[in-house]
Structure 1
Amino acid sequence: MYTFHKEERLCSVKLIQSLFHNGSSFVVYPFRIVYQTEHATEVRAKVLISVSKRRFKHAVTRNRIKRMIREAYRLEKPSGLSVYLSQSPKSLHFAVQYIGKQPEAVLPYLREKMILVFKKLHDETARLDS
Structure 2
Amino acid sequence: MVKKLTLGKEERLKSRKLIDKVFAEGRNFNAFPFRVYYLFAPGKAIPADKHLLKFGVGVSTRNFKHAVDRNRIKRITREGYRKQKNGLQDLVQQKQLPAAIFLIYTGKELPQYDVVSEKIAVILNRLIKAAHEIPAEAS
TM-score (norm 2): 0.84
Per-residue deviation, 1:128: 4.2
Indicate whether 1:98 and 2:105 are aligned: yes
Per-residue deviation, 1:13: 1.1
- The CA RMSD over aligned residues, in Å, is 1.6
Cα deviation per residue 1:52-98 (whole Å; 9 max; x = unaligned)? 111111111101111110111111112x3223224322011010111
Amino acid at match of 2:128: H
Q: Distance in 2 between matches of 1:128 and 1:77?
A: 19
User: Where in structure 1 are there 5+ consecutive unaligned residues?
Assistant: none
Q: Distance in 1 between matches of 2:67 and 2:76?
A: 14
Aligned length: 128
User: Where in structure 2 are there 5+ consecutive unaligned residues?
Assistant: none
Equivalent position of 2:9 in the other structure? 6
| Percentage of matched positions with identical amino acids | 37
Equivalent position of 2:131 in the other structure? 125
Q: Any residues of structure 2 matched to 1:1-130 within 5 Å, and which? A: 1-38=4-41, 39=43, 40-78=48-86, 80-103=87-110, 105-129=111-135
- Residue aligned with 2:133, SS: helix
Q: Distance in 2 between matches of 1:107 and 1:81?
A: 21
Q: Distance in 2 between matches of 1:117 and 1:88?
A: 19
Amino acid at match of 2:5: Y
- Report if the CA contact (8 A) 2:11-2:55 is conserved: yes
TM-score (norm 1): 0.89
Divergent runs of 4+, >3 A:
none
